[in-house]
Amino acid sequence: MNDTDTPAPETWDFWQDGSHEPALNMALDEALLLSAAVRGRPLLRFYGWDRLAVSIGYVQRHDAAPAGFAVVRRPTGGGVVYHDHDFTYTVVVPEGHWLTGLDRLRSYRWINRSVQAGLEHCRMSASLAASEIPHQVDRLTMVCFQNPTRYDVLMAGRKVAGSAQRRTREGILHQGSLHFGGPLPVPRAALADALLAGLRAVLNLTLESWAPNADVTALAERLVREKYGTDDWNRRR
- SS3 for 116-142 is HHHHHHCCCCCEECCCCCCCCCCCCCC
pLDDT band, residue 196 (cuts 50/70/90)? very high
| pTM score of the predicted model | 0.93
pLDDT for the residue numbered 151: 86
Residue 226: how many CB atoms within 10 A of its CB?
Answer: 12
Amino acid at site 140: L
Closest CA to 148 of 166, 127, 165: 127
Report the alpha-carbon angle 109-104-174, nearest 5: 80
Contacts of 223 by beta carbon, 8 Å cutoff, 6+ apart: 26, 27, 30, 31
pLDDT for the residue numbered 149: 76
Amino acid at site 20: H
pLDDT band, residue 1 (cuts 50/70/90)? low
Distance CA 42, CA 37 (A): 9
For residue 226, pLDDT beyond 50? yes
Closest CA to 207 of 220, 217, 193: 193
pLDDT digits (tens, 9 = 90+) for 122-167: 999 999 988 665 454 444 565 566 667 788 999 998 999 999 999 9
Which whole number is the average pLDDT over 208-214?
A: 98
Q: Are residues 173 and 104 in contact, defined by beta-carbon separation less than 8 angstroms?
A: no
Which whole number is the average pLDDT over 95-113?
A: 95
pLDDT for the residue numbered 137: 46
Which whole number is the average pLDDT over 205-224?
A: 98
Helix (H, G, I), strand (E, B) or coil at 126: coil
Distance CA 27, CA 216 (A): 10
Helices 214-223 + 22-34 axis angle, to 10: 130
Which whole number is the average pLDDT over 69-92?
A: 96
For residue 5, pLDDT beyond 90? no
pLDDT band, residue 237 (cuts 50/70/90)? confident
Surface-to-core class of residue 81, CB atoms within 10 Å of its CB (0-12 exposed, 13-18 middle, 19+ buried): buried
Q: Are residues 89 and 188 in contact, defined by beta-carbon separation less than 8 angstroms?
A: no
Mean pLDDT of all residues in the chain? 92
Percent of all residues in the chain with a pLDDT value above 70, rounded to a whole number: 91
Distance CA 204, CA 214 (A): 30
Residue 33: how many CB atoms within 10 A of its CB?
Answer: 23
Which whole number is the average pLDDT over 84-113?
A: 96
Q: Which residues are catalytic?
A: 144
pLDDT band, residue 108 (cuts 50/70/90)? very high
pLDDT for the residue numbered 130: 82
pLDDT for the residue numbered 148: 72
Contacts of 18 by beta carbon, 8 Å cutoff, 6+ apart: 47, 48
Distance CA 29, CA 26 (A): 5
pLDDT digits (tens, 9 = 90+) for 28-46: 999 999 999 999 999 999 9
